[in-house]
Structure formats: C-alpha cells, structure tokens
Homo-oligomer: A and B are copies of this chain.
Amino acid sequence: MAMMTFKATTKKVGAGLNVESESRGFKVTLDEPLELGGTNKGMNPMELVLCALGGCQVIAFSAFAEQKGVDLQDIWAEVEGDFDPAGFMGDFSVRPGYSQIRFKLHIKSSSPADKVEEYVEYVEKICPVGDTLKNTVGLIKTDVVIEPSEKACCSSCCCCGGN
C-alpha cells in the first residue's frame, strides 16, 4: 500500500469560537463551553482528540479481531486527558497541549482473558492515532494567505484608522 494523505478543512461559523471542521463531506461542529469563552455548540478540539483516540482503539480492535482469532461481542473505551490551560493563555513556561492521556478499554469476549489482553497489546502497537499522540509528528505551517479584506484600508482612512 502506498502512503496515504488525509485532508480536512475548518471554517468559522459566524463570530465567536464556533467552527465547523469537515473531511470527505463529513462534518463536526466545534466550540468552547461558556466558561472558556464559547457558545457551547459542540465539543472543543481537545475533546475531539480524545474522541479520535477512543475511535481509533475501538475501530482497530474491531478490524482485526476475527483475523487474530479473538471473539468480539462488544468493546467500548473511556479516554481522558490532562492539560494546563495556562499554556493556552500565554504562559510559555507551560506546554499548551496534553501532558498525559489515559484510556481504559471494556471488552466483551468469550475468548480467554490472556488472549484478549495479548490482542489489546497488539492493537496498541498499530493504532494510528495512539502513535500520532505518543510520538512526535512533523507539524508544518505551509502558508498563511492574507485574503482580500472587506474593509478598504489605508494609513489615513476615516473608517479603520489604518488598522
């Protein structure tokens, strides 16, 4: 299989912090809760990261269970992550991202427990989102495009004062 490239776009929904992200036509609404300055129309991006990890664990476990000879009747995941909001608020001595993410799996299976646990360890090794989080990723800002402003701007105009 060749390398794959996944894509997504995010746009604002009105003023404030409400945005919509989209990938392959599928959309997710994001916002911040009221206490973090948003209008609480959706989960926030850090919560979405946890949803991605739980989704990846459950999907990966489901994908190869039969091939690995593990009976799978059900699986669900609980995920939680700690971060210090001081970093987001501009304190550069604190990392703004997650310092730790924990997950707990619940598995309903008639297979022997040691076989299930061995398969859990296998899934941990091949989980794409898990690997993306626990190891570093090359994150590159390729471009910043300043789009034409709707407000004409000059150094002495009456409407915007050059800002």
**Are B28's CB and A48's CB within 8 A?**
yes
Q: Judge whether B97 and A130 touch: CB under 8 Å.
A: yes
**Interface residues in A5-40 (C-beta closer than 8 Å to B):** 5-12, 16-17, 19, 21-24, 26, 28-33, 37-38
Closest-by-CB residue of B relative to A81 is B6
State the CA gap A50–B136 with chains docked (Å). 15
Counting every copy of the chain, the complex holds: 2
* CB closest residue in chain B, given A150: B73
| Docked complex: A67-91 residues within 8 A CB-CB of B | 69, 71, 73-90
A106 to chain B, nearest CB (A): 5
Given contacts A7-B80, A87-B126, contact A48 B55 (CB under 8 A): yes
Complex contacts, A136 vs chain B, CB 8 Å: 134-136
Task: Determine whether the beta carbon of B76 is less than 8 Å from that of A11.
Answer: yes
Interface residues of A in 96-149 (CB under 8 A from B): 96-113, 116-117, 120, 124-149
Question: In the complex the two chains form, is B76's CB within 8 Å of A12's CB?
Answer: yes
In the complex, what residue of chain B is closest to A73 when comparing beta carbons?
Answer: B150
List chain A positions with a Cβ less than 8 A from chain B.
Answer: 1, 3-12, 16-17, 19, 21-24, 26, 28-33, 37-38, 42-60, 62-64, 69, 71, 73-90, 92, 95-113, 116-117, 120, 124-151, 153, 160, 162-163
- Shortest 5 CB-CB contacts between residues of A and residues of B: A10-B54, A97-B131, A21-B51, A97-B132, A8-B50
